[in-house]
Structure 1
Amino acid sequence: MPTDSAGARQEPEVLVDTAGLSEAEWLAWRRKGIGGSDAAAILGISPWRTARDLYDDKLGIASAQDDSGNWVALEMGHLLEDLVARIFSKKTGYPIFQIKKMFRNPRHPCMLADVDYFATLPDGNAAILEIKTTNYNTRGHWWEGETPIVPPYYESQGRHYMAVMDLDRVFFCCLYGNNEDEVEIRELHRDRDYEQEIIFLEESFWKEHVLARVPPPYTEDGELVLASLQRRFGAGDGTLPKQLLGRAEAATLQKYLQCQEQKKALNAQVKEIDRALKRLQGQIVASMGACWTAGCQDAETQYLVSYPAVRRAMIGKDALERLRRDHPEIYDAYVTMSESRRFSVKQIPLSAAQDAT
């Protein structure tokens, strides 16, 4: 938490005692400010939420939580929280404790903190302890090559909490397996420069968007934005009349078409390179015959070639149609339908469009 002009540290304010709150009550209090898990969306580094999702959640327009597809993982995280905290305490020797309160930064009252646990350090000071759960497939998010890291979206959460609680250390304990040795433990120390950036961006978001009721623009990765819009609009409504867009959208569509042309040009280059690769591959396979492996070398390099047969089970479109016709009960039991929307843009000269009307 920031210090005053004399350098004195400040205790966070208690916003509410959370021990007896229902889930709905807790969410209502959380909407009164920005929590640690909100920081990544504001910084534009969240893999799950856009700033617009967060804006909608704070104003009660729509929930920012997409629990439909990962509710089991979320529930497992809640159920394992106490266990993971005990593992951390056993591994480090640090006593742990909880404070069932939601805190607020006195100088920046839009910044809130509802901390999982605290740890008592050997010097008597307290540190923040954040509990996470994952699996073997995503354990790699806690590593950068051989270097242990905290994923950026969790790092922003920890630094937000340090700013609110005025504490200088935060620990993360992430369980990725089913025993006490399958955990990742990380420690972050306070970074005042990063902290000031978080404070500035969070206050700007709160004042310029939430309080002003001005939705933030979509600036995140396109896939994340489209996923957000899919949650918001679903598959759309084909019965609605054609939407009339403005000049700003016309400029955006022009850029879109320009990018399409650039992509076509690059794809043409890629296809030419692919054809060259196939020709060269054919020359090598002709020399290999039926062999799966081959090798050779020149003055400086040894080359090893592998060309094994790869077999996989698949079902073609015609066979799938026969399955639907001959065995509808099996088809219905195993085949699922997906729903998506296809985006396309056509460019029509204005004179031709006027003639058509």
Structure 2
Amino acid sequence: MAFATYRPQVLVDTKGLAEKEWLEWRRKGVGGSDASIILGISPFATARDLYYDKLNIVSYKDDAGNWVALQIGHLLEDLVAEIFHKKTGYPIYQDKRMYCHPLYPYMLANVDYFVTLPSGETAILEIKTTNYNAKDHWWIDGEETIPVNYEAQGRHYMAVMNLNHVFYCCLYGNNEDDVIIRHIERDRAYEEELIALEGIFWNEHVLKQVPPPYTEDGDLVIQSVRRHIGTADPDAPAVELSLPLASCVIRFTELQAQKKLADAQSKKIESEMKRLQGRIVAEMGKSCTAVCSAGGEAYTVTYNPVRKPGVSKDNLIRLQAQHPDIYKDYVTVSESRRFYVKKSQKNLAA
């Protein structure tokens, strides 16, 4: 692929654009936050989720359940950018326009901020917020890193905007020193693969309305399926699985048997640990802490109470019977489904 000099094209001016209109423009292509989903490295969604979102069938974003974090990120964006400016001394500015790649117009960019470097080059600044516990995602084995989904986002923007640098500034506390600043440069090999995969997603799936296959982590796939199909129907007819999926069933039962053996060993270990715990707890009595020395090492044992409010099953039944209005207003019913594989009786008799 030849990386010629080019300028991104303005798709729409987003200043004053209503959120609904902005989302409609986002559906005209692939944005930076979509890149990790297409690459299969997003912790939040599958390519199938993104496909349904682009066709405006159903959104995978849980804005209602995550509205506080979203609001915090939005409200603190300018503050975090100002912290970056103060820490680095680099001038920053905003460009309230959505851009697209001139050669691949489905590749879109809506950049948080731009940075003017001392060399005169323009760089991209991505603003992030997180909590104190999640800041460890910015290190691996003590080495500075960037979460892979954020890296994909930055590299997507570099491709669209034809720029060579991305900075990240992530605030995880309540003062200016509680920030993480990272920098990456353009990687042409990564970019070439990214452009190819985004092209396949857009041209072969979205435009042709062919859902992409599920290839992601099992939990993500199960969450995705639940979003799209809704609640279970006990009266629905049995589904005849294709040969490839029948092979999956066979492999699942093999792993199930292996897990059963491993669980038996695990239960034996847990039983021994529980026996030892019982002897220690009996010695501690009402105390929450114990200390000892053995084998040249010092140990501290804690056995602290954990108290949390709850409603017993009997009280829940009583509440439903005596105060149905309150029960209806405050008790929610969630659905879970149990996945189980066994050999059919006809096979066992054969």
TM over 0.5: yes
In the aligned structure 2, how far is the partner of 1:48 from the partner of 1:316? Answer: 30
Contact 1:2 1:166 in 2 (8 A): no
1:333-344 map, 5 Å: 337-344=333-340
Aligned length: 344
1:203-352 map, 5 Å: 203-277=199-273, 285=280, 292-297=290-295, 302-313=296-307, 319-322=312-315, 324-325=317-318, 332=327, 337-350=333-346
Q: Which of 147, 161, 181 is 1:151 aligned to? A: 147
Contact 2:158 2:166 in 1 (8 A): yes
In the aligned structure 1, how far is the partner of 2:206 from the partner of 2:177? Answer: 43
Contact 1:85 1:173 in 2 (8 A): yes
- The alignment partner of 2:262 has SS state of helix
Relative to structure 2, which stretch is displaced further, 182-191 or 46-55? 182-191
In the aligned structure 1, how far is the partner of 2:262 from the partner of 2:348? Answer: 30
Question: How far off its partner does 1:247 sit?
Answer: 3.2
Question: How far off its partner does 1:117 sit?
Answer: 0.9
**2:12 maps to 1:3:** no
Contact 2:124 2:166 in 1 (8 A): yes
Gaps of 5+ in 1: none
Change (3 A) 1:65 1:265: same
Aligned twin of 2:24: 28
Q: Which of 44, 67, 70 is 1:71 aligned to? A: 67
Question: How far off its partner does 1:345 sit?
Answer: 2.1
In the aligned structure 2, how far is the partner of 1:195 from the partner of 1:238? Answer: 47
In the aligned structure 2, how far is the partner of 1:344 from the partner of 1:115? Answer: 46
1:25-53 residue CA offsets vs partner (Å, 9 max, x unmatched): 22222222211100000111101110101
Change (3 A) 1:21 1:313: closer
In the aligned structure 2, how far is the partner of 1:322 from the partner of 1:88? Answer: 54
In the aligned structure 2, how far is the partner of 1:139 from the partner of 1:286? Answer: 36
In the aligned structure 1, how far is the partner of 2:310 from the partner of 2:154? Answer: 50
Equivalent position amino acid for 1:226 in 2: I
**2:38 maps to 1:45:** no
Change (3 A) 1:316 1:55: closer
Equivalent position amino acid for 1:304 in 2: A
- The alignment partner of 2:292 has SS state of strand
In the aligned structure 1, how far is the partner of 2:23 from the partner of 2:274? Answer: 58
- The alignment partner of 1:118 has SS state of strand
Equivalent position amino acid for 2:314 in 1: E
Contact 1:235 1:340 in 2 (8 A): no
Relative to structure 2, which stretch is displaced further, 92-101 or 40-49? 92-101
Relative to structure 2, which stretch is displaced further, 344-353 or 267-276? 344-353
- The alignment partner of 2:76 has SS state of helix
Q: Which of 189, 207, 211 is 2:185 aligned to? A: 189
* Identity over aligned pairs, percent: 53
Please tell me the root mean square deviation across aligned C-alpha atoms, in Å.
Answer: 3.0
Aligned twin of 1:178: 174
- The alignment partner of 1:91 has SS state of helix
1:316-351 residue CA offsets vs partner (Å, 9 max, x unmatched): 98x541465379669958865433122222321546
